Structure 1
């Protein structure tokens, strides 16, 4: 079943569909043609299928979609697992950074601590975003 390729006997103008609908329906039902591609202004616009073919397509599609979602979930779970060894290495690296509050002095005798810098960054993040049309 290849619904993306059209044979010349499957391509039918909308005018011909109106005039010969019973004949076209019979051809589809008797499997003389797999589908009827209805043309408007010479371009494919609609497709007629028998209901059995439609059900088969939808069953395959839903099965594929379900399998795809399962595979995605499995990939996410596989990719998010972190080895205990990697976690310990990360903690060791954090400890090496020695992130205790420190004081930085400038020539103007102003003291700034690491906590002050972090606090200022948090304040900046909490400001609401302006909509692009607001100026």
Structure 2
């Protein structure tokens, strides 16, 4: 009886420590949104005043070249390596979400006419990407 209890205990530990793939789409979507918000919050794009565009940079956020989701602005006062790590984590969560829920290629090559960021400008004290139109 002790052996059976021990085996059940070990089995429960193993099963409990494994990655549980039985989350709902809503739970996974919330995790994706949380990861995205973590990147945006760390970038300080929504929390810092933009008075000098030279204090801001831009970085590619994901595989898409679409300006709406392809690039984000960030304050040059933050640690760029930490920002990149947060972006990488977001992309991993996003890839897992799309693989699990059947949207593997979502966000790739859907823009047609794309704009490529060329810099950052301050508009109404907020950083915004400035870009030129480019045909792809």
| Same-fold status (TM-score > 0.5) | no
Q: Which has the higher helix share?
A: 1
- TM-score category of the 2 structures, normalised to the smaller one: under 0.3
Higher relative contact order (CA 8 A, sep 6+): 2
Structure showing greater radius of gyration is 1
TM-score (norm 2): 0.26
